[in-house]
Every structure is written in C-alpha cells, then in structure tokens.
Structure 1
Amino acid sequence: MKEMFKVKVNIQPYTLNFKFDAGTSRGVLRKKETYIIGIQSDTFRGVSGLGEAGPLKGLSRDDRPDFMSKAKVIIEKVEGLSFAEDWQEILLAIQELPQIDELPSLRFGLETAFLDLIHGGKRKIFSCGFYDQRQAIPINGLIWMGGKKFMQEQIEQKLEDGFDCIKMKIGALDFDLECQLLEMIRNRYSAKEISLRVDANGAFNLQEALGKLNILSQYDIHSIEQPIKPGNTAEMAYLCQHSPVPIALDEELIGVIHVNDKKTLLEQIKPTYLILKPSLLGGIAATREWIDIAENTGIGWWMTSALESNIGLNAIAQFASSLMPTLPQGLGTGQLYHNNFSSPLTITNGSLTYEPQKPWSIPYLFPSGFQ
C-alpha cells in the first residue's frame, strides 16, 4: 500500500509590475495580479512546494472578484484529503476536487506546488531535460504593441539577442504599419533564417479577416494566433480551410473542459496549431488532453506562459520539456517585470535554460514555517 500524506496550503496575492506599457489588442498592461501557493507536509519536513495561480485579466475563466474566497473553499477541501506520493494520482485527486473547473489557474498552481513538494521542494516539477540536463528550450522573442519606434527597438533587440523565431502582436495599431514592420524583417532575413509568428488576439472582424491573412502571407508568416474572436466556430473553420497563413487557436480553447468537447472543436475547426496556456486551460492534466487529441489528429502545438512570475514560468517550461517539443515555445515572459522572483531561468541566444548556480529568491510571502 502506498504511503499517504496530508498537507497544509497557503495562498498569497502578489502584484507583478511591468517594466513598460505592454500593449495588446485587448489594451495596455501595466501590472499583473497573481497568487503564490505554498504547500507543506509533515511527511516532507523542512521543505515547501510552490505553485502559482495566475488568472489573466479579461480572459481567464477565474478572473473574478471572488477568486480568493472560492480558492480558500477548495484549499480547505485539499487540506482534508490524504494524497499518495505519486504525481499521476495527485493530478487525478486535484481534478476531482469540487468546483476546481471554475478556477483553472488554481488547479495548475495546486498541481505544480504538489509536484514541487514531492520532488523535495527544489522547484523541480518534472523529470525533464530542461531541469535535469540543463537542456535549452528554443523560444520565440515577443514583440509587444506600441509606437513604431518602440516596436522597431524591440525587434532589433530580439534579433541582436539571437532569436530566430519572432512573435509580433498585431491588431491594435494601423495594419499598414504592422505590415511595414514585418516587411522590415523579411527584407533582411528569409523565412529559413527567421520564423515570424503573429498574434491578433481575435482583433480582426469576420469581414476583413481573410483579406488581411492574404496580405500577411506576403511575408512568409509561420502562423497567426486567433485571427478572429473565439466562439465563431463556423467562421474560424472557414478561415482555417482558406487562409494562406496557418492558423493557431489560443483563446478558442479557453473554457472547453470535457474531452469530447475538445475533440469536437478540433474536428470542426481543423486548425494547424494549438497554443497551450496551462493556467488558462486548467493545468497539467487538462493541457495533456489537448495535446493527446492534437497529436492524434496531426495538429501541431506549442506551450506559452500567460504572464506568470518565474514560479509559474518554471513549471510550464518543465512541463513543456517533459513532452520533448519540436517547435519554439512561448516562454520568454520572465523578464517583463521589475519585481519578478530571482530564479535560475535564463534566456541566452533565443533559448530558455535552467542555470542551477543562480539561486531562487522568494520573498517572505507566507507565515513562519513556509520557506
């Protein structure tokens, strides 16, 4: 019989402050509210598992004013249970918690805090090349919206930093200006040298979308994320069938919980790629369902952080690495904040690496006894 253990859980809010005004088609971001989860157990004395629940304002299902009160109800349930020291059984137990589907980022935060705990509280979530062998994960360099000069500066910096995959947010500025910036890159680098991704965050209207996709195809675009708003299944399916630019679903996946609904959505739309954000999709087990369906139907995928701190970013990076991805991942958000937690996560030559000589530094968020 497997040994069972009980836990004590603490959750604390934390505000991350951007270094700049981060522009998207949904508005400008200056701060990010997140929640850090700490888990301890008498079975694992002297260590704490850390996780992060990071609802994304205006997008997450759990972006709600009663998040903390709902979370505390679920946490009380967690503290009343006993868990086996087996990561798959832990994920299953969390999946079965009442009301956990209402708070997908909390589910991810609990999953990762538990996995950190049973691995010794060393910020190890999975056995994977990224953590165990310090294997680099290729990532895309993210270009935020802003004035032309600001966007040009970002592009130049990413190219100088060695990124060979650039992702540019589009849809809030003048479309001609956005095309000029893409053309600037293409005039200097071919698609074999620099892969270009664009993210519209649903900004195109149904009437203009195909025309804009035809224009974007002139720049050898690798893919476009969510060209139109989610929920327009027939229109998105039409675009996926006729677009000269491969389409990736992102916001379209949010709130689709049951595995049969996931299969139906992908069968109807037939996208080329999926963009997977564990904090928005309901964590590790829920994201694995999307990946299994995608790989069984020939759909590509990559994983992306959803503006988490380095605690959440580390968990997503290890999760992605454990699945041995073949495409650059969207994991370059750790340098966005003035007050992120110091960590071994390092970006070099367009890749994310885990450098164990760089220590974690987590402020005293929790009561005495949590570390």
Structure 2
Amino acid sequence: MPNALQLKADYKKYTLDFKFDAGTSRGVLKTKDSYFIKVYRPEYPNVIGTGEAGPLPKLSMDDLPQIEEVLKDYIEKFSQQRIQWSEKGILEFARAFFDDQHPSIRFAFETALLDLYNGGQKKILENDFYQNNSPIPINGLIWMGDYGFMESQIEKKLSDGFSCIKMKIGAIHFEREFELLEKIRKRFTADDITLRVDANGAFPVEEAMGKLEKLAELDLHSIEQPIKAGQWKEMGHLCQKSPVPIALDEELIGVTTLEKRKQLLDNIHPPYIILKPTLLGGIGDTREWISLAEERGIGWWMTSALESNIGLNSIAQLTSSFQTKMPQGLGTGQLYHNNIPSPLKISKGEIFYDKNTQWGDWQ
C-alpha cells in the first residue's frame, strides 16, 4: 500500500422521512436531508468508503442553503490532494483541508476515508462494537409533543427495557412535563431508571435556578443545556449552584480552537459535556474535547444528531473506542421510514452491531 494516495469522491443527497413529527425547541421536523459521501481509488472503483454529512437544521454551522455547492467545491479540490494513508494521516488531512465552519462535511469525509482505509466494510476505527459484537447502553429518547404523545413514548421505552430515559422538555407547560417525570419516578427509583432531561436552552436565566431546584425533587441524573448557549458567566454560576448536574450541549457548537475550548471548560466547568461529532467537527475534534474534559474531571457521553444509520454507525464505533459504560444517546436509528437497512440493532436499551445482517444500498 503506498504511503500517500490520490482519491476520488462523490456525494448523493438523501432525504430521510420521520415516522412522526419530531418536536424540538427549534421547531418540528418531518424530513431531514443528509449527503452521503463516497471515496474510492480510481483503479478500484468498486471498493468505496462511505460517510454522512447530516447537518442539523437551525443548529449546525453548515446548515446552509448552498451546501451542495460547498460539497461540489470540496470534491473537486479533494481529487487533487494526496493523503498520507494511515489513521493519523487521514485525521490530520481532514482537520487541515475542511474548514471549521463545515463540521458535518469534515466528519463525513473522515469516516469515508477511514472506512476505505479499513477495506470499505463499514469499519471506521478499532473498537469492540464492530469487531466483537459488544453492545453499547443507550438512553431512550422522549420527543417533545403534547402530554399524551410524550406519555405514550415513555410507556413504550419502559416496556422495551430501557433503564435510562431522556426527555426533551420546554414544549409544553413545565408543570405538565414535571408531572410526566414524576410518574416515572413514583414507579421506579433512581437505582431502577436513570432520568435525564434536555431543555435545549429553553429556560430563561432568571427562572432557571427555580426550575432546577424543582427538578431536583425527581433525583435526575442530569439536565442538558438549561439556558441558551453563549452565556458563560450565567451558565458557570448554574453549574456551581444547581442541585441537578448540568451537561453542556449547544454550548460547544462553534467553539473550534483548542484555546477557546479550554477557556469554555475552565470558565463554566460543567459536570458533563455532550458530544455530537456531526456538530463539533468530527472524530479528531471530538477526541480533543474528550481529552480536555477528562483532564478537568468532566464527564461526557456521545449523542447522534439525527443521522441515518451510516452516520450512527460511525458515532457508535467512535464511542466504543473509548470503553465507556455510561448510557449514550445513540437511539436515533429507529426514527425514519426510509433509513438505510443496516446491522445496527437495538434491544433492551442497548445498541449492537449484528454481523449476520447486511447493509442496504443507498446509491
């Protein structure tokens, strides 16, 4: 195998259709566009590496109306590059070649190149999830909606054997959301069911502490992003005083330099951070966040960002490479009518890779 390769790339737009109206604090999603990247050696066009650029509407830096023009420009320039053919060389190339403002595109090319490096078999990294069928515990995600819709989701997750439930809050009246969580806690202790909530920045700063004190009655594991991102002083105060441990999520988006990442963690010092490779710049950037967090005694877990099974597979393998036992946010593969058929399976609150199942075609 040569030390440096010149490769070709292409992409295909793919629109994913939700099975239900997916309510978020930024609106309701019915469909979501992804862009599947393939890379290959011109002399071996049938061996391809695959990645997914799946910018999250109204949140990703590269949620752009001209994203296809950006992709075409990258693909044209990509074919003129020579890439050092090793995992380290691939990640260094991606960090240098793809702009910080296009994190999902960088992640897609990273994973496509690593897939090709490992033989085009959907293996991205050395990890037990892919190689040894080791399951990853995940949380059951409860989407925003009316009371009945949210209650039915909770019942389904509990009956499916999830021991960690994460509920998005901020869509209906706080007291009604509290009532739903209280119902779970009355049935199950914190030893039986772990409860997480995600506010997506919905709490006004002046109301946040009062709501956190109320939520503390429910023995929650954590709350994600209680107030809007960018308020470091206020968030730092909440992290110090909150009776519910806080996890930063949107706060990390757009913080692209090592120095700024250090400043954010040192100023706010949260108990946890949430890592979404699609939003943060991919594998190399996610590893950097983890290293900085662990140096400071800050916990973390990985979360998918509504990718198809192509992107979800990459994130699960990255997660598995760290040997973490904490429940992860990797349950999004069941959201779509037309997801890419894959070996990714969920059973009793765990995701695993079933080597007996083949990948479906997306081309």
Instruction: Return the TM-score normalized by structure 2.
Output: 0.98
Q: RMSD between aligned alpha carbons?
A: 1.1
Amino acid at match of 1:325: T
Q: Which string of whole-angstrom CA distances, capped at 9 and with x for unpartnered residues, describes residues 261-320 of structure 1?
A: 100000000100000000000000011110000000000000000000000000000000
2:78 alignment partner, SS class: helix
Q: How does 1:280-319 map to 2 (within 5 A)?
A: 280-319=279-318
Q: Which string of whole-angstrom CA distances, capped at 9 and with x for unpartnered residues, describes residues 168-204 of structure 1?
A: 0001211011000000000010001100000000000
Mean alpha-carbon deviation: is it higher for 68-77 or for 211-220?
68-77
Preserved contact between residue 346 and residue 352 of structure 1 (Cα < 8 Å): yes
Distance in 2 of aligned mates of 1:43 and 1:120: 14
Q: What residue in structure 2 maps to residue 137 of structure 1? A: 136
Q: 1:363 Cα deviation (Å)?
A: 2.9
Distance in 2 of aligned mates of 1:218 and 1:363: 47
Distance in 2 of aligned mates of 1:44 and 1:327: 40
1:237 alignment partner, SS class: helix
Q: What residue in structure 2 maps to residue 352 of structure 1? A: 351
Q: Which string of whole-angstrom CA distances, capped at 9 and with x for unpartnered residues, describes residues 235-286 of structure 1?
A: 0001001100000000000000001110000000010000000000000001
What are structure 1's unaligned runs of at least 5 residues? 365-371
Amino acid at match of 1:23: G
Amino acid at match of 2:204: N
Preserved contact between residue 44 and residue 118 of structure 1 (Cα < 8 Å): no
Preserved contact between residue 55 and residue 62 of structure 1 (Cα < 8 Å): yes
Distance in 1 of aligned mates of 2:84 and 2:152: 51
Q: What residue in structure 2 maps to residue 48 of structure 1? A: 48
Q: What residue in structure 2 maps to residue 222 of structure 1? A: 221
Q: What residue in structure 2 maps to residue 276 of structure 1? A: 275
Mean alpha-carbon deviation: is it higher for 112-121 or for 64-73?
64-73
Q: What residue in structure 2 maps to residue 94 of structure 1? A: 94
Q: 1:356 Cα deviation (Å)?
A: 1.1
Q: What residue in structure 2 maps to residue 369 of structure 1? A: none
Q: What residue in structure 1 maps to residue 16 of structure 2? A: 16
Residue 240 (str. 1) matches residue 244 (str. 2): no
Q: 1:46 Cα deviation (Å)?
A: 2.7
Q: 1:84 Cα deviation (Å)?
A: 2.2
Q: 1:74 Cα deviation (Å)?
A: 1.8
Q: 1:81 Cα deviation (Å)?
A: 0.9
Q: What residue in structure 1 maps to residue 157 of structure 2? A: 158
1:352 alignment partner, SS class: strand
Preserved contact between residue 44 and residue 120 of structure 1 (Cα < 8 Å): no
Amino acid at match of 1:129: D
Displaced runs of 4 or more, over 3 A: 42-45
Preserved contact between residue 165 and residue 193 of structure 2 (Cα < 8 Å): yes
1:70 alignment partner, SS class: helix
Q: Which string of whole-angstrom CA distances, capped at 9 and with x for unpartnered residues, describes residues 343-368 of structure 1?
A: 0000001000000111100232xxxx
1:211 alignment partner, SS class: helix
Q: 1:118 Cα deviation (Å)?
A: 1.0
Preserved contact between residue 143 and residue 168 of structure 2 (Cα < 8 Å): yes
Q: 1:45 Cα deviation (Å)?
A: 5.3
Distance in 2 of aligned mates of 1:44 and 1:137: 34
Q: Which string of whole-angstrom CA distances, capped at 9 and with x for unpartnered residues, describes residues 121-162 of structure 1?
A: 111101100000000000000000111111111111111111
Q: Which string of whole-angstrom CA distances, capped at 9 and with x for unpartnered residues, describes residues 185-237 of structure 1?
A: 00010001100000000000011000000000000010000000000110000
2:205 alignment partner, SS class: coil
Preserved contact between residue 8 and residue 42 of structure 2 (Cα < 8 Å): no
Amino acid at match of 1:30: K
Distance in 1 of aligned mates of 2:288 and 2:362: 35
**TM-aligned CA distance change 1:116 to 1:44, over 3 Å:** farther
Q: 1:77 Cα deviation (Å)?
A: 2.0
Preserved contact between residue 5 and residue 85 of structure 1 (Cα < 8 Å): yes
Amino acid at match of 1:262: R
Amino acid at match of 2:223: I
Residue 249 (str. 1) matches residue 248 (str. 2): yes
Preserved contact between residue 139 and residue 165 of structure 2 (Cα < 8 Å): yes
Q: 1:116 Cα deviation (Å)?
A: 0.5
Distance in 2 of aligned mates of 1:336 and 1:350: 15
Q: What residue in structure 2 maps to residue 367 of structure 1? A: none
Amino acid at match of 2:68: M
What are structure 2's unaligned runs of at least 5 residues? none
Distance in 2 of aligned mates of 1:18 and 1:37: 22
Distance in 2 of aligned mates of 1:26 and 1:218: 28
Distance in 2 of aligned mates of 1:26 and 1:84: 41
Q: What residue in structure 1 maps to residue 183 of structure 2? A: 184
Amino acid at match of 2:82: S
Q: 1:43 Cα deviation (Å)?
A: 6.0
**TM-aligned CA distance change 1:134 to 1:43, over 3 Å:** farther
Q: 1:24 Cα deviation (Å)?
A: 1.6
Mean alpha-carbon deviation: is it higher for 23-32 or for 333-342?
23-32
Q: How does 1:203-218 map to 2 (within 5 A)?
A: 203-218=202-217
Distance in 2 of aligned mates of 1:155 and 1:351: 17
Q: 1:68 Cα deviation (Å)?
A: 1.3
Q: What residue in structure 2 maps to residue 201 of structure 1? A: 200
Q: 1:95 Cα deviation (Å)?
A: 0.9
How many residue pairs match? The answer is 363
Q: 1:328 Cα deviation (Å)?
A: 0.6
Preserved contact between residue 5 and residue 43 of structure 1 (Cα < 8 Å): no
